[in-house]
Amino acid sequence: MNLEQLQSFVEVAQTGHFTRAAAQLHLAQPSLSRQISTLEADLGAPLFHRVRGNITLTAAGESLLPLAKRMLADAEAVRYEMQELAGLRSGRVRLGATPTLCISLVAEVLTAFHAAYPGIQLHLTEGGSRGLLEELAGGALDLALITTTEDGPGRSTGLRRIPLLTEELVVVSAAHGAHFGDRTSITLAELAALPQITFHENYDLRAATMQAFAEAGLSPQIVLEGSEMDAVLRCVERGLGVAVVPAMVLADRPGLCSVRLSAPRLTRSISLAHRGDVAPTRAAEAMQRMIVDTADILASVGAAGDALIVRAG
């Protein structure tokens, strides 16, 4: 068994077609077929069902696929680590983050990191916490910034987490609107009566707010459902409704005003996850330090001195 055979197997499994897989790998189809046959002979089990051109995985193939992906990811990490031995002049960091963190904490981190290490390739994956943890466990990411509303799998996949921040959720409205008046806080019951814009179901904070409404026996008045963060903020700025958002996204948004949510107060915790079974590359270690340092700065500054963001723990 070798890495080239594993790469061929993964490509066929993902495309479901030998011809397309061969084209993706820049191989002649007979060469690809020989690699798969040799791999099957080495393993002593067929990996694909081949019926009238329809290619599907056998039980052995299903078992091998996640292992092969992990082995290929680890091999690539080794190559990058070898490149870094001469110093942080080359290398790569694959960072995953939730959508709300991508437009706040991550933007600050990547700007500072690129300025300090311009030779390091940066790859950013945006997604929900649960999916990011799965990619991290499978070797597709080096680090993942997640929130606690979906971080359960991290405890069962050998991942380690560094608590970073506890962030308050606030209610935002258009700066020129009259939803809040002179109030500095609003109750959940008062919020339920206001026209509200909600996020896609894969957003962690949507689950948290909907659960709070359900536990209080309240039904929110939703005027727009299933939007991305940037679209939600733009619609709020134009007066379509209010939204519950993390305090961090208020930076550089003069078109928004906010009030704190009380009865109950909602918060979320932000953590940095990494694999505990593989030593990080030097570039990933540098990124980790940059993230922790940036989180410390955000916690010390807070949100305009209102202590909406604090250091975890």
Tens of pLDDT, residues 164-204: 999 889 999 998 877 787 888 999 999 999 999 998 877 77
Are residues 173 and 261 located together in one domain of the fold? yes
Position 150 scores a pLDDT of 42
As a whole number of Å, the end-to-end CA separation of the chain is: 47
Instruction: Could you list the beta-strand ranges (E) of 134-255.
Output: 143-147, 159-174, 185-187, 195-199, 221-227, 243-246
| 303: in domain | no
| 185: in domain | yes
| 307: in domain | no
Are 268 and 205 contacting, i.e. CB atoms less than 8 angstroms apart? yes
Phi, psi of 183 (to 5 degrees): -75, 150
Are residues 291 and 150 located together in one domain of the fold? yes
| 313: in domain | no
| 311: in domain | no
Position 179 scores a pLDDT of 79
Are residues 105 and 245 located together in one domain of the fold? no
Are residues 274 and 150 located together in one domain of the fold? yes
Position 154 scores a pLDDT of 42
CATH code of the domain containing 111 = 3.40.190.10
Position 127 scores a pLDDT of 87
Are residues 178 and 190 located together in one domain of the fold? yes
What CA dihedral angle connects 149, 153, 159 and 165, to 10 degrees?
Answer: 0
Cα separation, 58 vs 64, whole angstroms: 10
Position 305 scores a pLDDT of 45
Are residues 55 and 101 located together in one domain of the fold? no
Cα separation, 94 vs 145, whole angstroms: 11
Position 302 scores a pLDDT of 55
Position 182 scores a pLDDT of 81
Position 152 scores a pLDDT of 44
Of 46, 73, 100, the domain-final residue: 73
Are residues 188 and 257 located together in one domain of the fold? yes
Are residues 263 and 276 located together in one domain of the fold? no
| Cα Rg of the chain, angstroms | 24
| 66: in domain | yes
Residue 49 identity (one-letter amino acid): H
Domain count, the chain: 3
| 188: in domain | yes
Are residues 274 and 261 located together in one domain of the fold? no
Cα separation, 100 vs 230, whole angstroms: 9
Low-confidence ranges of the chain (pLDDT < 50): 150-154, 156, 303-305
| 309: in domain | no
Domain that holds residue 185: 167-268
Position 37 scores a pLDDT of 92
Position 82 scores a pLDDT of 66
Are residues 235 and 288 located together in one domain of the fold? no
Are residues 183 and 54 located together in one domain of the fold? no
Are residues 18 and 42 located together in one domain of the fold? yes
pTM greater than 0.85 (yes/no): no
Of 43, 73, 103, the domain-final residue: 73
CATH code of the domain containing 65 = 1.10.10.10
Q: What is the pLDDT of residues 34-82, one digit of tens each?
A: 899 999 998 999 999 988 778 899 999 999 999 999 898 888 877 776 6
Position 151 scores a pLDDT of 40
Q: Is the peptide bond before 254 cis (omega within 30 degrees of 0)?
A: no
Q: Count Cβ atoms within 10 A of the Cβ of residue 297 and give its class: 0-12 exposed, 13-18 middle, 19 or more buried.
A: exposed
Three-class secondary structure of residue 309 per DSSP: strand
